Structure 1
Amino acid sequence: MAQPALERIIDGRKKDLGGFEVARVLPHAKRRLVGPFIFFDEMGPARFAPGKGIDVRPHPHIGLATVTYLFEGEMDHADSLGVFQTIYPGDVNLMTAGRGIVHSERTGITARQAGHALHGIQTWLALPEEAEETDPAFVHHGRDDLPNFKMDAVSMRLILGTAYGHRSPVEVHSPTVYIHAEAEAGARFDLPEGHEELAVYVVNGEIELSGESVKAGQMGVLAEAGPAPVAARTASRIMVLGGAALGPRFIEWNFVATRQDRIEQAKADWRESIANGFTNTRFSQARGEHEYIPLPGDSQAGEPPRPSKDCPTT
């Protein structure tokens, strides 16, 4: 059987947020989703001096599930369900927004005081249409909860879904695969079978995917499913992602939906929630928080309009 060709190679678009850099890969103008993955950001690597850190103020989501996965550092999550959770390297936080949730992400007190490094991936999974209005939820799994296994010279951690006879305990709403792999130089393996759409993102190093070079900061997207071979030209850290194809999605700010009018409703709900102090409104405030991010173009209540310096991630 001939190996599947690459549809395209996507370069991450880098943005400096003032001592902190993100590389956005998805959505791309010519490739909106890979399976359910509609948003894919590499955060860092960055090092913060003592007293500095990340402060992504409370903001809303609908119609998606956010996935946070770190290689280095830590981050505190707080949400409108009352959850507070610190995530560490190798753990996974999955927050299902469904009909609506609010959350913040910040550097914790201890890490901020000491100075710290941060490097990881944040991604969104679009929810299937029948689950778009599901109840919001949050789950955390430690690194030892996830299947960790080795295939010759490649160490793998299965973050989401099924692959190579393993299954992640993290529940998802549509067929999904998401793997963190560390490959030694010269290592070879085939991508997992049984997934309709697949891509590989190279965090560092360089690989050969279906005969083509994919370098650090690039995502190789396969044109079709099949036993695509991967060869590590150097020691490489890679993320394998994909799953069942979903239909078209609208995406605006932090909202994902199958209908534009649902996004417009979410925008109106966010403005109303802010105006009413998050009391008896569609969106509630995240645990322990009093700040928020206004809709793009809106001003912060009690403050003059200003450019947002919040990380454009989850």
Structure 2
Amino acid sequence: MSNIQTIIPERAANIGNFMVGRLLPFRSKRMVGPFAFIDHMGPAVMNEKENLDVPPHPHIGLSTLTYLFEGSIMHRDSLGTEIEIKPGAVNWMTAGKGVVHSERTPDYLRNTHKTLHGLQIWVALPKNLEATAPSFHHINKKDIPEWVENGVTIKLIAGEVLGKKSPVPVHSNLYFIELKNTSRQKITLGNDLFGESGLYILEGAVYSEGNIYEPKQIMVAKDSSLCEFEMAENSTVYIFGGDPFPEERHIHWNFVASEKETIQKARDDWKAQRFPKVPRETDFVPLPE
């Protein structure tokens, strides 16, 4: 009996002037633990006339996690934050009752050839924190726990698992782990994982129960305690998940909430421009009809 419940393929999606590969949500699996949304950005090669420009847009009821493999993004938000995110660092923005942010190519790179590659993730908030005050944290690459075990380099990007704890200030029981190897290696994590668990293959391949799985897909486990597989040489995979919430989460545009009325209010507030403004930004993404 296979431990794989669902295989989710990466699907093209447009986020304005930039194409991404959408992984979550999926029609038959809307969330994995508290993870509600995952976009794979790139790898994109842009010339001196091409830039990432996502104007100010709102969020409620979630935390965003931005993690880059290559390139750079300038993050600005309605809290007054203005910070450049580079590969290996983590931007963790908790929207709570409402925040607005923009994501753009930094000024010093705009007229150059550049690359961009990374993951953008939404983690839903527990019901009692959906209306919390927004906050922002930037965690440098050097502060992310990283170690080598049986020839595999492991990073705990967020959460608490494998006897380690990431400094990213998460709001529920979850984990987001990076595994990299150079030679074929068996991975057994079942005794350490909990809740729901998904595995995303960035590069290389994974062997499981006689099957081979290649990049641009997520495998969702039936039982995280049975998480065992082999990584092909020179592979990079991400394991993510955690305890699911007892209530359903509704997702509409950039809003996540346990109540549909909360989402409707956010739609009305954005349409009327009642959300806080992002300093130094004048345009915004209109509410999709």
| Corresponding letter in the other structure for 1:232 | M
Name the residue aligned to 1:238. Answer: 237
- Cα distance in 2 for partners of 1:99, 1:211 equals 47
Report if the CA contact (8 A) 1:61-1:100 is conserved.
Answer: yes
Q: Percent identity over the alignment?
A: 39
Report if the CA contact (8 A) 2:187-2:231 is conserved.
Answer: no
- Cα distance in 2 for partners of 1:214, 1:130 equals 38
Per-residue Cα deviation, 1:145-177 (whole angstroms, up to 9, x for no partner): 110111122112111011221110111110010
| Corresponding letter in the other structure for 1:271 | K
- Cα distance in 2 for partners of 1:90, 1:111 equals 19
Determine if the alignment matches structure 1 residue 88 to structure 2 residue 94: no
Name the residue aligned to 1:101. Answer: 99
- Cα distance in 2 for partners of 1:210, 1:220 equals 13
Q: CA deviation at 1:188?
A: 1.8
Name which of 10, 18, 21 aligns with 2:19: 21
| Matched position secondary structure for 2:272 | helix
- Cα distance in 1 for partners of 2:140, 2:209 equals 33
Name the residue aligned to 2:155. Answer: 157
Determine if the alignment matches structure 1 residue 42 to structure 2 residue 34: no
| Structure 1 gaps, min length 5 | 274-280, 298-314
Q: CA deviation at 1:113?
A: 1.9
Q: CA deviation at 1:20?
A: 4.4
- Cα distance in 1 for partners of 2:209, 2:81 equals 42
Name the residue aligned to 2:196. Answer: 197
Q: CA deviation at 1:227?
A: 4.0
Name which of 98, 111, 114 aligns with 1:116: 114
- Cα distance in 1 for partners of 2:14, 2:251 equals 23
| Matched position secondary structure for 2:200 | strand
- Cα distance in 2 for partners of 1:38, 1:231 equals 27
Q: Which shifted more, 184-193 or 101-110?
A: 184-193
Report if the CA contact (8 A) 1:4-1:224 is conserved.
Answer: no
Q: CA deviation at 1:287?
A: 2.2
| Matched position secondary structure for 2:101 | strand
- Cα distance in 2 for partners of 1:211, 1:174 equals 35
Within 5 Å, give how 1:3-18 maps onto structure 2. Answer: 5-15=3-13
Query: Per the alignment, do residues 207 and 170 of structure 1 end up closer, same or farther by CA in structure 2, a change over 3 Å counting?
Result: same
Determine if the alignment matches structure 1 residue 268 to structure 2 residue 268: yes
Query: Per the alignment, do residues 21 and 268 of structure 1 end up closer, same or farther by CA in structure 2, a change over 3 Å counting?
Result: closer
TM-score, normalised by the number of residues in structure 1: 0.87
- Cα distance in 1 for partners of 2:80, 2:139 equals 17
Name the residue aligned to 2:281. Answer: 289
Within 5 Å, give how 1:123-202 maps onto structure 2. Answer: 123-191=121-189, 193-202=192-201
TM-score, normalised by the number of residues in structure 2: 0.95
Report if the CA contact (8 A) 2:7-2:220 is conserved.
Answer: yes
- Cα distance in 2 for partners of 1:13, 1:202 equals 14
- Cα distance in 2 for partners of 1:58, 1:19 equals 14
- Cα distance in 2 for partners of 1:188, 1:139 equals 35
- Cα distance in 2 for partners of 1:63, 1:189 equals 34
Per-residue Cα deviation, 1:14-72 (whole angstroms, up to 9, x for no partner): 24679843110100011011111000110000011013210000000000010000000
Per-residue Cα deviation, 1:87-131 (whole angstroms, up to 9, x for no partner): 000000000000000000000011212221000000100111011
| Corresponding letter in the other structure for 2:257 | A
Report if the CA contact (8 A) 1:4-1:225 is conserved.
Answer: no
Query: Per the alignment, do residues 25 and 291 of structure 1 end up closer, same or farther by CA in structure 2, a change over 3 Å counting?
Result: same
Report if the CA contact (8 A) 1:6-1:210 is conserved.
Answer: no
- Cα distance in 2 for partners of 1:21, 1:230 equals 31
- Number of residue pairs matched by the alignment: 287
- Cα distance in 2 for partners of 1:23, 1:224 equals 26
| Corresponding letter in the other structure for 1:226 | S
- Cα distance in 2 for partners of 1:156, 1:206 equals 17
Name the residue aligned to 1:67. Answer: 65
